[in-house]
Each structure stands twice: as structure tokens, then as C-alpha cells.
A and B are shown apart, each in its own frame.
Chain A
């Protein structure tokens, strides 16, 4: 007994001089976490915005720090801001729409005056002024529609480019917050739909618009009378396909994201429990630190997601307003052409309406799906 006691004292004497202390340990993951904890740089994404839209976000891009940017984004998500924005866009679009209406009405009045010279004759050449008026109306409608189609196609390309830039940013923030499954679901669905939108815009809608315009031009020259119903039917099929595909995508993405969120939450809770119970003494503090990091990341995600929502709306809203105003003005033109008996012009106007409706369907469905993904991203959290 005495020997054991003596041995224990000797060991203590040997161990006592050994210095023991605590030093601060810096967790350095080669800078992988640190940049993600700061607000992501979205200036590259802002390059894809149209000119007026990028000016709207100049304050956001100029501000530094998460709280400043969060304040800027919450201002941009205010309904009053969007009310003013929509009114401005309506004012701009209304002027071009009114221009088409006045030109078509002027042509019809002019044609009526000129046609009065040759009234009463059944000869084919006596209908020349009316036929020429139909051609002029067709040309005016084609010019306006081509301008709108060109703008909308450009905007759709910008939207896809914007989502190509935003997807890696969102993926990085998902991964940082431990939402790996949700990241894979969201980014794969997004990339697939972006590719689909680009391809439909370039290889389906633009050739369709050109074909409808060419065929209705032939109709305006009096060489084809059954083209109008054909283009209408093709347009309806196209709109139906776009709407169905986007509805399916939205549903699948929503369901998959919900499932993935559950999986990631379970995994995150398991990690926190393992950290809390596995690491002695400091395990509980580390588990709470993970929650704190998650809260910071939630703020960054809400800010970045909010910026994505604002950018998408800045692109999609002007497109939809412009198409809506063009469709309304074309309705007026169609009524005026029917009243004047310019049947060929009526078929051209109907073709232009079909084309614009198809573009509106693609723009609306793309915008809604991208907004859905940005909203899901904003609402995801850690743990």
C-alpha cells in the first residue's frame, strides 16, 4: 500500500513541471468557408440585366455588408416599388402600341377615301387599293411584332444567362449550409429548364414566328386563305406544351425540394447531435456555433435569393407588359381591319397575336419557375 502511494507521488512529481495551457486555435479551411460567409458578388449577374433594370440595382451593388444589401433588397421587394415600375413600363409600352393603332386606323381611312374612286366596279384591279392597304397593315403589324419578338427573345436570353450565373452562387450557399441534397435537386432542375428555355427560344419560337409571318404575308398577297387557322392551331399547341412542361417542372421541383429538405434536415440534426455528444467539453458550444453560422448563412441566402427574385422580375415584368400591350393594340387593329373588310390584314394580325402569345407563355413560365427556385432557396435554412 505504501509502495503504491509512493509510486503515485513520484508520478505526480514528474508530471507537475510539464507546462499546460490553452492557446487559441484558428480553423482554417484554406479560405473555403470564409468567402462564402460574406455576401456573394452578384455584379456579374447584374451585367445580364437590361440597361434600365441594372440602374435599378445600382444602390444594391454599391452597398457593402449583408445588412445594407438586405435593406436595399427589402426596398426593392416592396409592392409600392413594383407598382411604380409597372406604371412606368405601361407608359413606355403604351406609346408604341398606340403608334400601331393610329397607323392602322389611318391606313384604313386612307384606303376608304382612295377606294371610293373605284367603287361600283367588279374588276379585279379595282380592289387594288384595298389589297394594297391590307399589305401595308400587314407590314406595319409585322414591323411592330418583329420588334417585340426581338426584344422578348433578347430578354429571354438574358434571363437564361442570369440563371446560369445565379445557379453556382446558389449551389455554393446551399453546400455551405449543408443542404447538399437540396442543392443537387434545385441546380439540376434549374440547369435543365434554362437549357430547355434557351433551346425553345432559339430553335422553336423564332423559326415559328418567321414561318407564321412568311405564310401570312403570302395570305396578304391573296395566295393562301387557309393559313390563319393553321397558324392559330400551331400556336395553341405550342402554348399548351410550354404550359404543361413548366407545370410539371414546378411540381417536380417543389416535391423533390421538400423531400431533399427533409433529408438534409435529418442529416444536419444528426451531425449536430454527433458533434454535441461526441466532442467532449466543447461539443455543445460547437453545436451551437453551427446553428449561429446557419443563421448568418440564412441572412446571406435571403439577401442573395431576394436579389435573384428582383433581377428575374426586372427582366420578366417588362417583357410581359410589352407583350400584353402589343396584344391589346393588335386586337384593336384586328377589329378595325375586319370593319374595313381587309381580310388579308386580319389573318396577318391573327398570326402576329399567335406568335406573341407563344412568347408570352415561354416568358411567363420561365419567370415563374425561376422565381420558384429562388423562393425555395430563400426559404431553406440550416438544421
Chain B
């Protein structure tokens, strides 16, 4: 609860500072927003680590355990990409946002490639019987 209060407080402070600086120093306003966003996400890593640890603990020994690392990695890439895209859009850099989104999608597809290969292998195996 305390951590969430601190995070919300920091976000509100950053918004206020951004609004104040927007009229006088537009560039500084964008930098403050980006830095605040990065700090807030870094602050949430503790909670994310605990969630990941819980998921790993619950799924260990189950039939889904082989899929957990890939799913967590995909979730992590999704979060990172989303935050980066949001920050880029907030600073008005639409082009950069699209590039980051594209890179994120490529990384996620890369995670799924081994499983696609196995699926195709199963289909070919049936064909070659």
C-alpha cells in the first residue's frame, strides 16, 4: 500500500511538473515525463519479481511448466514495449513509437518460433508416416 501511494504521489508530482514546464520549457517537460515513467516502472519491478516467483512456484511440476518461461518473457516484452511506446507517444514521437512497437512484436514472434517449428514438425511427421 505504501509503495502504491509513493508511486501515485510521484506520478502526480511528475504530471504537475510537466504541466508547469510545458509552457516555459517544452523539452524539459518531455524529459521529466520520460524519467518519471522509467522510475515508476523500475519501482514496480519488485512487485513483478514477486508475481513471477509466485507463478513459477505454482507451475513447477505441472504440465504447463515448460510454457511458463516463454509466457513470462512474452509478458515482459509486452510490458516494456507498451511503456516505451506510450512514452514515445507522450513526447510526440509517433515514428519512434511505431519502431519500438515493431521491435517488440519481432521479439515476441522470436519467442514463438521454436513452438511453431515443433507444430510444423508434427504435421510433417504425420505426412511422412
Residues of A that sit less than 8 Å from B by CB: 99, 102-103, 106-107, 110-111, 113-115, 117-118, 121, 123-126, 128-129, 131-133, 135-136, 138-139, 142-143, 146, 149-150, 153, 202, 206-207, 209-211, 213-214, 217, 220-221
Contact yes or no, B108 A132, CB < 8 A: yes
B residues 74-129 near A (Cβ < 8 Å) are: 74-75, 77-79, 81-82, 85, 101, 104-105, 108, 111-112, 115-116, 118-120, 122-127, 129
Give every chain A residue within 8 A of B79 (Cβ-Cβ): 117-118
Give every chain A residue within 8 A of B115 (Cβ-Cβ): 135-136, 139
Contact yes or no, B64 A106, CB < 8 A: yes
Quick one: given A125-B78, A132-B74, are A103 and B55 in contact (CB under 8 Å)? no
- Interface contacts (Cβ under 8 Å), in number, total 117
Contact yes or no, A142 B122, CB < 8 A: yes
Contact yes or no, A209 B126, CB < 8 A: yes
Contact yes or no, B82 A121, CB < 8 A: yes
Give every chain B residue within 8 A of A103 (Cβ-Cβ): 63-64
Give every chain A residue within 8 A of B120 (Cβ-Cβ): 214, 217
Contact yes or no, A217 B116, CB < 8 A: yes
Contact yes or no, B85 A129, CB < 8 A: no
Give every chain B residue within 8 A of A207 (Cβ-Cβ): 126-127
Q: How far does the Cβ of B28 sit from chain A's closest Cβ, in whole Å?
A: 28
Give every chain B residue within 8 A of A220 (Cβ-Cβ): 119
Q: How far does the Cβ of A218 sit from chain B's closest Cβ, in whole Å?
A: 10
Give every chain B residue within 8 A of A202 (Cβ-Cβ): 129
Contact yes or no, A125 B108, CB < 8 A: yes
- Is B70 at the interface (CB under 8 A from chain A)? yes
Contact yes or no, A213 B123, CB < 8 A: yes
Contact yes or no, B85 A123, CB < 8 A: yes
Contact yes or no, B101 A125, CB < 8 A: yes
Contact yes or no, A124 B101, CB < 8 A: yes
Contact yes or no, A213 B119, CB < 8 A: yes
- Which residue of chain B has the shortest Cβ distance to A215 in the bound complex? B123
- Which residue of chain A has the shortest Cβ distance to B104 in the bound complex? A125
Quick one: given A106-B64, A107-B64, A209-B126, are A221 and B116 in contact (CB under 8 Å)? yes
Give every chain A residue within 8 A of B119 (Cβ-Cβ): 135, 138-139, 142, 213, 217, 220
- Is B62 at the interface (CB under 8 A from chain A)? yes
Contact yes or no, B70 A132, CB < 8 A: yes
Q: Per a CB cutoff under 8 Å, which of A106, A136, A138, A210 touches B127?
A: A210
Q: Per a CB cutoff under 8 Å, which of B64, B78, B118, B123 touches A126?
A: B78
B residues 22-67 near A (Cβ < 8 Å) are: 51, 55, 59, 62-64, 67
- Which residue of chain A has the shortest Cβ distance to B63 in the bound complex? A103
Contact yes or no, B129 A107, CB < 8 A: no
Q: Per a CB cutoff under 8 Å, which of B55, B82, B101, B125 touches A146?
A: B125
Q: How far does the Cβ of A326 sit from chain B's closest Cβ, in whole Å?
A: 15
Most interface-central of B85, B115, B123 (chain A CB within 10 A): B123
Contact yes or no, B78 A129, CB < 8 A: yes
Contact yes or no, A132 B111, CB < 8 A: yes
Quick one: given A110-B67, A123-B85, A136-B115, are A128 and B78 in contact (CB under 8 Å)? yes
User: Can you list the 6 inter-chain pairs with the closest CB atoms, starting with the nearest?
Assistant: A106-B64, A210-B127, A210-B126, A103-B63, A214-B123, A114-B75
- Is B8 at the interface (CB under 8 A from chain A)? no
Could you write out 8 A-B pairs with CB less than 8 Å apart?
A: A103-B64, A107-B64, A110-B59, A118-B78, A118-B79, A139-B118, A214-B123, A217-B119
Give every chain B residue within 8 A of A217 (Cβ-Cβ): 116, 119-120, 123
- Is B72 at the interface (CB under 8 A from chain A)? yes
Contact yes or no, A136 B116, CB < 8 A: no
Q: How far does the Cβ of A199 sit from chain B's closest Cβ, in whole Å?
A: 14
- Is B71 at the interface (CB under 8 A from chain A)? yes
Contact yes or no, A111 B71, CB < 8 A: yes
- Which residue of chain A has the shortest Cβ distance to B111 in the bound complex? A132
Give every chain A residue within 8 A of B116 (Cβ-Cβ): 135, 217, 221
A206 to B74, CA, bound (A): 34
Contact yes or no, B67 A118, CB < 8 A: no
Q: Per a CB cutoff under 8 Å, which of A128, A138, A142 touches B74?
A: A128
Known: A125-B105, A132-B111. 20 other contacts (CB 8 A): A103-B64, A106-B59, A107-B64, A110-B55, A110-B67, A110-B68, A111-B71, A125-B82, A128-B78, A128-B108, A129-B78, A143-B122, A146-B122, A146-B126, A206-B129, A207-B127, A209-B126, A213-B122, A213-B126, A217-B119
Contact yes or no, A117 B108, CB < 8 A: no
Q: How far does the Cβ of A197 sit from chain B's closest Cβ, in whole Å?
A: 15
Give every chain B residue within 8 A of A146 (Cβ-Cβ): 122, 125-126
